[in-house]
Amino acid sequence: MTVFKAFLKVLLKYKGTIILYSMILIIFGAINMSTSDNNVNFEDSKPDVLIVNSDKGNKISDNLVKYISDNSNINNDLKGENEINDALFYRNINYVIYIPKGYGNDIMSGKNPEIDIKSTGDYQASLAEMILKRYIQMQNVYKMNESSEDEFIKLINNNLSKDVNIEVTSKLDTTKLFNASTYFSFASYSIMAVIIFIVCLVLSSFKEKNVNKRTIVSSMNYKKYNNGLLLASFGYSFILWVFFIILGIIMLGDIMFKSRGLVYMLNSFVFTFCCLTIALFISTLVTNKNAVNGIVNVVSLGSSFLCGAFVPAAWLPNSVLTFAHILPTYWYINSNDLLKTMEVIDFTSLQPIFINMLVVLGFSILFIILNNIVSKYKHNAI
């Protein structure tokens, strides 16, 4: 109990750091979740298009604008070329269509006027281009046969109004699942950084040379001492995990109370435990408080970037992913990604996730063994 109390006492000394770190991570996590929607989730399959119509009032040009508007999200708030260029660069819009002056008249007089566009060149922009091309193509075919403007527009709109049957088989709420997976994957960074940072700082106070020597000569059994430290660090990690779960429930809602949510929780718990063993190993290895700061950043940022906590794993180069197999975060995030698309949750479908958890536990055992080896070596060196 003495050790436990001492741990808490030192921990409380760092409460400012813990709060600051957690707050920053929470804000980053929350914003990452809300802004990454347009980057990753393909739910919204209408491209963002801006139309600069210099031929307003002409029926043919207006019909083109109407068709594009029906098939895309129109953004017409931007003023001036600079704002348009900025929006294009930051992918706020995917495609800009400039309808030249006299476009409608040119069409009716049998010409095929050129249309200027600006494009980001990504998926959405390709879709926008398909939409535009389809219309122009149709215009070019029909104009050869119709002389009246209204007839011509009617013919085009009749053709465009037909829609093919599409059947969606999946019953999953992809947006919610996507958010849950993003949250838990991003949390891998938060969990890892805060646990390693705090556990290493607190334990380094215990391992300070003079304190350590006094502890060794005291009457306290070293096993009891070590167990106390372990228990306290575990308690701290557990509370942190509960905190992140509560935060998850607040942000994600009812999905957390379903069987899928429980698997997310279990998965993150196993990962939290693994982070604790890494923290204990690092604290044995390094006792300099200044160095801890650097190591935390390198380890946590490194594994987050390599394993897909910030950028979805599907978008990372294969060579990076192959390398990432040697890091526990990879297996944790892989489970989150699997959970995102899993249709039914039952024992057989969950098997790959259980295997991932076992791998993470394997890593934990490895770090415990390494920790013992290093501490034994260091103990002998005193």
Partner 1 sequence: MFWHNFKYSLKVLFKSKALIFWTFAFPILLGIFFNIAFSDIENSEKLDIIDIAIVKSDEFNKNIIFKEAFEGLSKGNDKLFDITYTNLNKAQKLLEDDKITGYLVFDDDINIVVSSSGINETILKYVVNEISSNETMINTLIKKDINNEIKKGNYNINYEKIYADAYKLVSKDTAKINNISNKNLSYTMIEYYTLIAMTCLYGGLLSMYIVNLKLANMNSVGKRTAISPIHRGKMLVSSLLASYVVQLTCLAILFIFTIFVLKVDYGNNLPLIMLLALVGSFAGLSLGVIVATLIKTNENAKTGILIAITMLGCFLSGMMGITMKYIVDTNVPLVNMINPASMITDGFYALYYYSTLDRFIFDIVSLLVFSFVIILISYFGLRRQRYDSI
- By CB under 8 A, the residues from 230 to 289 that bind partner 1 are none
Q: Which stretch binds partner 1 (CB under 8 A): 140-148, 212-220, 325-333, 358-366?
A: 140-148
> In which residue are the tokens 């060579």 written?
319
Compute the distance between CA of residue 251 and CA of residue 262 in angstroms, rounded to an integer: 15
297 binds partner 1, rule: CB under 8 A: yes
Site membership for partner 1, residue 157 (CB under 8 A): no
> Which candidate, 207, 237, 220, 127, places its Cα nearest to that of 378?
207
Give the relative orientation of helices 328-341 and 174-206 as an angle to the nearest 10 degrees: 160
CB 320, min distance to partner 1, A: 5
* Count of C-beta atoms within a 10 Å radius of residue 289: 12
Please work out the total of residues on this chain that contact partner 1, with binding judged by CB under 8 A: 87
Write out the two tokens for 149. Answer: 């403007």
Q: Is 215 in the site for partner 1 (CB under 8 A)?
A: no
Q: What is the number of alpha carbons within 13 Å of residue 259 lying toward its C-beta? A: 8
The total number of residues written for the chain in this structure? 382
Residue 53, beta-bridge partner list: 99
C-alpha separations of 232 from 4, 202, 225, 229 in Å: 6, 11, 11, 5
- The dihedral region occupied by 308, where left means phi > 0, alpha psi between -120 and 50, and beta the remainder, is left
Select the residue interacting with partner 1 from 141, 211, 262, 355 (CB under 8 A). Answer: 141
Rg (CA), the chain: 29
Among 76, 226, 341, 351, binds partner 1 (CB under 8 A): 341
Q: Any contact of residue 317 with partner 1 (CB under 8 A)? A: yes
Q: Which stretch binds partner 1 (CB under 8 A): 126-134, 205-213, 222-230, 357-365?
A: 126-134
Question: What token pair was written down for 141?
Answer: 């075919």
- Min CB(118)–partner 1 separation in Å: 4
Instruction: Give yes or no for residue 172 binding partner 1 (CB under 8 A).
Output: yes
Least distance from partner 1 to the Cβ atom of residue 177, Å: 10
Binding part of the chain for partner 1, among 52-60, 165-173, 226-234, 252-260 by CB under 8 A, reads 165-173
Q: Per CB under 8 A, which region of 57-65, 242-250, 302-310, 326-334 contacts partner 1?
A: 302-310
Q: Binding mask 9-38 vs partner 1 (x if CB under 8 A, - otherwise)?
A: --------x--x---x---x--xx--xx-x
Do the Cβ atoms of 239 and 329 come closer than 8 Å? Answer: no
Nearest approach, Cβ of residue 217 and partner 1 (Å) = 31
CA quadruple 271, 274, 280, 284: dihedral positive or negative? negative
Residue 174 near partner 1 by CB under 8 A: yes
Residues 84-123 touching partner 1, rule: CB under 8 A, are 85-92, 96, 98, 112-123
Minimal distance, residue 358 CB to partner 1, in Å: 24
How many other C-beta atoms can be found within 10 angstroms of the C-beta atom of residue 379? 12
Alpha carbon distance, N-terminus to C-terminus of the chain: 26
Out of 19, 211, 320, 365, name the contact with partner 1 by CB under 8 A.
Answer: 320
The answer to whether residue 137 forms part of the interface with partner 1 (CB under 8 A) is yes
Task: Tell me which of 26, 52, 108, 136 binds partner 1, using CB under 8 A.
Answer: 136
